[in-house]
Structure 1
Amino acid sequence: MTIPVQVGPSPVGGGPVAFQDREELLADIGDRIRAERHARGWSQTTLGSRCGVSAKRIAHVENGQTSLPLLRLAEICHGLQMSMSDLLSEEWEMPDCAPRRRGLAGALTPRQALVLREAASGIPLTQVAVRLGMPRPVVSSRLSEAYRVLGVSDMPRDERRSAAMRVAEARGLFDAALEVDAA
């Protein structure tokens, strides 16, 4: 007879803890890699050549569209000249000089707003993708973009969705996205 392995502390005092949403974890790591690359002023091609990975692979990693083997993560961190522990730390913060993407600061696209509203319910991103009829990587990418636009991408994963909803609602960004969609 085998004994189940405890994967972390259980909130109720026993048994394994459910793994957090895999897609959101990949998107979070990708966001961090993108922010660190932007802070250095590098293109995906530059980072790729520094760590022996194609620019296309870097793009897939940054968009949360691919699994990230430990060795690949180590190579990317080496290219960024930082340790994996620094990149993955709960204390990691968005670099101050990381630029906002394509002038989107303060505005959500209709798709970002839609994905954020669905994701705010706390369901896994694979279920959000099914509900919206979108590929899962697109859902991850739109949610990551919304987090960056709203300035919450450096928050811990478990707080990010609710913080993004609060910021978007406070700024009236859901209504603005619907107006843009109707136009």
Structure 2
Amino acid sequence: MTKLPPRELEVLKLVAGGFTHKEIGERLGITHKGVTATFNRALLRLGALNAPHAVHLAVQEGILPGRARRRPGPARQPLTERQALVLVAAADGASLTAVAARLGTTRQQIASSLSGAYIRLGVHGLPRGEKRAAAVAEARRRGLIPPAEQERAA
């Protein structure tokens, strides 16, 4: 396991936290050049190519705590009007081209709206063939789109 001196570890933690070298220098009371030199030494010790690689390696080696992976779950935001409309139109399993024709738009715009809905509904990690059905079911469960019976009646 790679051991970093306290100052290099401190700078690496701040870089991992999203701070710029200038902000780190102000926070630690050292110059921008001092931060850069300290960070470059940490890169060399870790064998990293750049800042993201350094953070990745430090997490792998247990030097920095890893971030908990977000499990699929409730959306952070509800669906947009467009995403809900597209999801309702795509609920019957029609192709993207057919849904685009129904809504008078392009296949790419339909794909983009569905992709955004999958993320908001927490089903983006599912296998490709299961996403749409899971998204429709989740949106109905949350009351974001009407139940299938109301869809047919409309």
TM-score, reference length from structure 2: 0.46
Structure index of larger Rg: 2
**Larger RCO (CA under 8 A, 6+ residues apart):** 1
